[in-house]
Chain A
Amino acid sequence: MIYREAGQFKTTYATDQAIFPIPQDLWFVVAVLVIAAVIIPLTAGQYWLGPILTQFLVFALAALGLNLLTGYAGQLSLGTGGFMAVGAYACYNFTLRVPELPLFVSFILGGVCAAVVGIMFGLPSLRIKGFYLAVATLAAQFFLLWLFDHVGWFTNYDPAGVASAPSRTLLGSWATKDGPLSFLAPLNLMVSGPKAAIETKYLVTLVTVALLALLAKNIVRSSTGRAWRAIRDMDIAAEIIGISPLKTKLLAFAISSFYCGVAGALYVFTYVGNADTEAFDLARSFQILFMVIIGGLGSILGSFLGAAFIVLLPVLLNITASTLGEGTLSSDTLSNLELIIFGGVIIFFLIIEPHGFARLWQIAKEKLRLWPFPH
């Protein structure tokens, strides 16, 4: 009843091709954004804002990046953690060595570095496909982490190999009260470092993720996105109708790695505050891949749903386990039990809906369209 598009007529191409052609969808997204940007920071506690919501947003962004590559362009990659690490360490080094730089520019530069590395490790995709490619991308994962572990320059010769995010403001030192761009000073929020408010970190993450999601939504419905899907569905056929596999695949790797790189930078600067290479290990890559698969391959919304599921499931398991098993079970047993349940739930979800939450959402919408009358 509420979700019915009957009677909504489109009279121009522009309205017909809008991102959300159905007003209900548009209002829904706007409502979610308003809640996320205004109500949640005002009401939610520190625990929810920091470790849970910011974490969710960061991983959703990484999942989005991987989904562009795997879901849209069909290139299976297990190097996500490596690309996130490139973004994180590049961003860290930009802020450290050029302190005047606005933080958001560092984020972008971190993403660009990740994109360049992504292109290099994307080159084999021109020859290798499927699982062979997945294993080849592991080269990126292991090599990049080894590099950050063994070359001290990347972590500024920190003895523990930990890169701690320095205190930086959103618009950099030029926009402070006595800088050349002093009129921007009120907007120049402290984003990273120990003095930054957790609300600011959350909001900066939210805005970044929202903007990049919008960009992704537009990329996948442009000619680039169509080329990606053509390559995914059958690369030889796509090549025959004039899509260059070289350009398309490398662009997919570049854009995907850019997203992952920005996610890695956000991870260090707005979520955790510091990073060692363990944060970006292979388990991370698999975690992101899980988000994409559980959420739905080839769906922007799916990346968010998958990330929410994978981030929240351990939290829920943890809460249930600690309330139920308080005192009766050791923490080792609990963490192993969590592992078993986590694996079991993943298998269960793959069995009941291999196309992920995005597909469930679609089915729900179909049902909603007819609701409350079945026909």
Chain B
Amino acid sequence: MLFFLEVLIGGLLSGVMYSLVALGFVLIFKASGVFNFAQGAMVLFAALTFVLLLEVGGGFWAWTGWLSLVFAAVAAGLYVLNRFTEVLKSPVVSSRAATVIAVLAILILGLFFDGGQNMWRAVFVILLIYVALTVGVRNPKAAAAVLLGLALASLFAGDVNFWRSLVLTLTIMIVLAIAIERIMLRPLVGQEPIILFMATIGLNFVLEGIAQGVWDADVHALDIGIEDVPFDVGGVFISQFDIFAAISAGVLVAVIGVFFSKTRVGRALRAVADDHQAAMSVGIPLKNIWAIVWAAAGIVALFAGLLWGSKLGVQFSLVLLAFKALPVLILGGFTSVPGAILGGLIVGATEKVFEVFVGLPYLGGGTESWSPYMLAMIFLLFRPQGLFGEKIIERV
């Protein structure tokens, strides 16, 4: 019985990690109806970028940083001057929501800080998120400029590589999102979902190629400072790292939930998800929304990449996480954030329990590759829209 509990809890905890990957899918599908197959590649891309920036360290960046800083500061200053009045007149994120986010962000980030000078880095990250939220809706290009400036400026806030590369990777993911929106999605607006789906598979190849080719294909160790030590809870051994991963996943989900339900951008996102045409006719800039949502998915991918990367090492197989996320998606419903969490829990628990108690003793093992899919398929026969999916209403 204890053993069963241990397997079950292990499964549940790894399920949370699956749902972190699934979350990226949900965000994009909800807002744009695009089934983003490249999410797995985005996880790899983000994690590899992060690790490599970390490994490159100070020298190279300090050199280019000084030069860029001048340009970025000028660009950002001009932009802020230009937009200052406008932002004040009609804030995109209401001040209360912004405060909530900022406080939450401080709390989350505070967990990692050892006090002192590091506080500056927290301020930068919060500023980054705030700017992304407020100006992103209006002018993604300018937002990117500001973010770039901030990121480069953050290089000089201290010498702790972890935060430096986190900020840079965040920036790169946001710029990547804007590029994807510009280059790939905008010309394909109004095409059939399957065409967009295929385009994201093409994107998947490109990202895999870049991640491996421009960076490299080795396995990189990533240490985020949490040790993978099991500890004892009433006779059941639970991995400390898994607990940490589950908690941070939970926090991320809470932040996304607040973002979707309480902020103006979140409301716009929900409006776009509901009906593109109607959203555009009330003046929501669809294209910027898409860029934002891809950026959000990129950030989620970065978090997933960090957690999985420190568990398994940053390597090509991170791409395969996408296939763990798919059954989670259909179980939870493509459009539901809580569904992704619950789906992840179910998938994680089932595949571990099935593998340990049925797969290994009777079927020769390796059942984890298909058992979640079988479960999802059987489940869908009874509930085609998933656990929390919107009821499918068909009209002729």
B114 at the interface (CB under 8 A from A): no
Cβ contact within 8 Å between A344 and B206 = yes
| Contacts known (A131-B35, A339-B209, A354-B191); A236 close to B394, Cβ less than 8 A | yes
User: Is the pair B380, A332 in contact by a Cβ cutoff of 8 Å?
Assistant: no
Task: Say yes or no: A336-B213 contact (C-beta < 8 A), given A131-B193, A149-B366, A354-B191.
Answer: yes
Known: A127-B384, A131-B334, A350-B188. A139 touches B194 (CB 8 A): no
A240 within 8 A of B: yes
Binds B, one of A8-16, A90-98, A194-202, A285-293: A285-293
Q: Is the CB of A150 within 8 A of B198?
A: no
Contacts of A370 in B (CB 8 A): none
* Docked CA distance A298–B381 (Å): 27
In terms of DSSP, what is the predominant structure of the interface of chain B?
helix
B200 → chain A closest CB, angstroms: 9
- Whether B366 pairs with A146 at a CB distance below 8 angstroms is yes
Does chain B have a CB within 8 A of A3? Answer: no
Given A128-B384, A336-B212, are A343 and B195 neighbors across the interface (CB < 8 Å)?
Answer: no
Of B188, B202, B213, which is within 8 A of A332 by CB?
Answer: B213
**Cross-chain contact of A135 among B183, B195, B376, B385 (Cβ < 8 A):** B376
Q: Is the CB of B329 within 8 A of A286?
A: no
Considering the complex, give the chain B residue whose CB is closest to the CB of A342. B205
Inter-chain CA distance A282–B373, complex, in Å, is 14
A123, B380: Cα distance in complex, Å: 11
* Contact A354–B213 (Cβ < 8 Å): no
Are the C-beta atoms of B363 and A150 separated by less than 8 Å?
Answer: yes
Give the complex CA separation of A15 and B205 in angstroms: 47
Residue pair B205, A343 in contact (C-beta under 8 Å)? yes
Q: Is B203 an interface residue (CB 8 A)?
A: yes
Could you give, for residues 148-185 of chain B, a 1 whenever the CB lies within 8 Å of some chain A CB and a 0 otherwise?
00000000000000000000000000000000000110
Query: Do B191 and A130 have beta carbons less than 8 Å apart?
Result: no
- Known contacts A76-B194, A131-B193; is-contact A290 B201 (Cβ 8 Å): yes
Would you call A146 and B369 a contact (CB within 8 A)? Answer: yes
Interface residues of B in 350-389 (CB under 8 A from A): 363-367, 369-370, 373-374, 376-377, 380-381, 384-386
Is B327 close to A, CB under 8 A?
yes
Q: Is the interface of A mostly helix, strand, loop or mixed?
A: helix
Q: How far is the CB of A271 from chain B (nearest CB, A)?
A: 24
Q: Quick check: is A177 within 8 A (CB to CB) of the other chain?
A: no
**Residues of chain A in range 237-295 having any CB-CB distance to chain B below 8 Å:** 237, 240, 282, 286, 289-290, 293
Are A332 and B373 within 8 A (Cβ)? no
- Alpha-carbon separation in the docked complex, A129 to B380 (Å): 10
Q: Is A187 an interface residue (CB 8 A)?
A: no
Q: Contacts A139-B374, A339-B209, A344-B206: A289 and B384 contacting too (C-beta < 8 A)?
A: no
Tally of A interface residues using CB under 8 Å: 46
Least CB distance from B321 to A in Å reads: 14
Determine the chain B residues whose CB is within 8 A of the CB of A338 once the complex forms: 209
**Which B residues are CB-close (under 8 A) to A337?**
209, 213
CA distance A362 to B334 in the complex (A): 36
Q: Is A347 an interface residue when CB atoms closer than 8 A count as contact?
A: yes
Contact B396 A138 (CB under 8 A): no
Give chain B nearest CB distance to A227 CB in angstroms: 17
Q: How far is the CA of A293 from the CA of B37 in the complex (A)?
A: 16
Bound form: Cα–Cα A166–B213 in Å: 40
CA distance A139 to B35 in the complex (A): 18
Q: Are A336 and B209 in contact (CB under 8 A)?
A: yes
| Distance of A351 Cα from B182 Cα, bound (Å) | 12
Contacts of B207 in A (CB 8 A): 343
A333 and B202 alpha carbons, distance in the complex (Å): 18
A302 to chain B, nearest CB (A): 14
A282 to B385, CA, bound (A): 24
Cβ contact within 8 Å between A237 and B198: no
The answer to whether B247 has its CB under 8 Å from any CB of chain A is no
Contact assessment for B197 and A131 in the assembled complex, using a CB-CB cutoff below 8 Å: yes
C-alpha spacing A339/B187, complex, angstroms: 22
Contacts of A286 in B (CB 8 A): 201
Minimum CB–CB distance for A373 against chain B, Å: 33
Question: Is there a chain A Cβ closer than 8 Å to B87's Cβ?
Answer: no
B323 with A350: CB separation less than 8 A: no
Q: How many angstroms from the CA of A76 to the CA of B194 in the assembled complex? A: 9
Q: Which residues of the other chain, B, contact A129 by a CB distance below 8 angstroms?
A: 384, 392
A44 in contact (CB, < 8 A): no
A143 near B326: Cβ-Cβ < 8 Å: no
Q: From known contacts A124-B377, A127-B380, A343-B206, infer whether A350 and B195 are also in contact, taking CB-CB under 8 Å.
A: yes
User: Which residues from A are CB-within-8-Å of B208?
Assistant: 339, 343
B32: CB under 8 A from chain A?
no
A127 to B369, CA, bound (A): 24
Say whether B70 faces chain A, with CB atoms less than 8 Å apart.
no
**In the complex, which of the residues B192, B326, B370, B392 contacts A146, with contact meaning CB atoms closer than 8 Å?**
B370
Task: State whether A130 and B210 are in contact (beta carbons under 8 Å apart), knowing that A143-B374, A293-B198 are contacts in the complex.
Answer: no
Q: Which residues of A contact B (CB under 8 A)?
A: 70, 76, 123-124, 127-132, 135-136, 138-139, 142-143, 145-146, 149-150, 234, 236-237, 240, 282, 286, 289-290, 293, 297, 332-333, 336-340, 342-347, 350-351, 354
A-B contact pairs, 13 of them (CB 8 A): A127-B381, A128-B381, A129-B384, A131-B35, A131-B193, A138-B323, A236-B394, A336-B213, A339-B209, A343-B204, A346-B201, A347-B184, A354-B195
